[in-house]
Amino acid sequence: MDIQISFDARDPAALAAFWSAAPGYVSQPPPEGFETWDAWADSAGVPEERRSDWAAAVDPGEGRPRLYFRRVPEGKTAKNRVHLDLNVGGPSGTPPEERRRRVAAEAERLVRLGATEVRTAEEHGEYWTVMTDPEGNEFCLQ
């Protein structure tokens, strides 16, 4: 069974670009036999005005779930009920000061890509930073 994580978005292409860069994904290439997504859309009868309604990012290593971004008319109005955790602090046993350094460095990188740092916390030996993507969706670095 494959897993896909779906995001509602104002700008699917921009959000897909952020989430491609954040975990090292790539924009999903067009289906086999098509040079471009427009060529595929032409064959599927997708009207031009609907072609920017979605975007997707995939793991180039093919081990992690596909990320799908779909245009919706409304903006985000409440806290996420589900969020992604990006494990960037190192494997189990990484010294706490090294984990903090790695999380801080990744937070800086993602801020340059359009994320916002919300807060940092440490509890029961865990260390994480809560962030939001460019459209306000919460996620954590740990």
pLDDT at residue 142 is higher than 90: yes
Q: How many CA atoms lie within 13 A of 100 on its CB side?
A: 8
Q: Which of 110, 97, 96, 98 is CA-nearest to residue 140?
A: 110
| Domain annotation for the chain: domains and CATH numbers | 4-71 (3.30.720), 84-141 (no CATH)
pTM of the shown model: 0.89
The DSSP element (H or E) to which 55 belongs, if any, is strand 54-58
At 133, is the pLDDT very low, low, confident or very high (cuts 50, 70, 90)?
very high
- Phi, psi of 96, rounded to the nearest 5 degrees: -55, -40
Distant-in-sequence, close-in-space partners of 133: CB < 8 Å, separation ≥ 6: 15, 18, 19, 22, 114, 115, 139
Which whole-number Å values give the CA distances from 24 to 14, 32, 47, 57, 71, in the listed order? 15, 22, 31, 10, 23
pLDDT digits (tens, 9 = 90+) for 83-106: 999 999 999 889 999 999 999 999
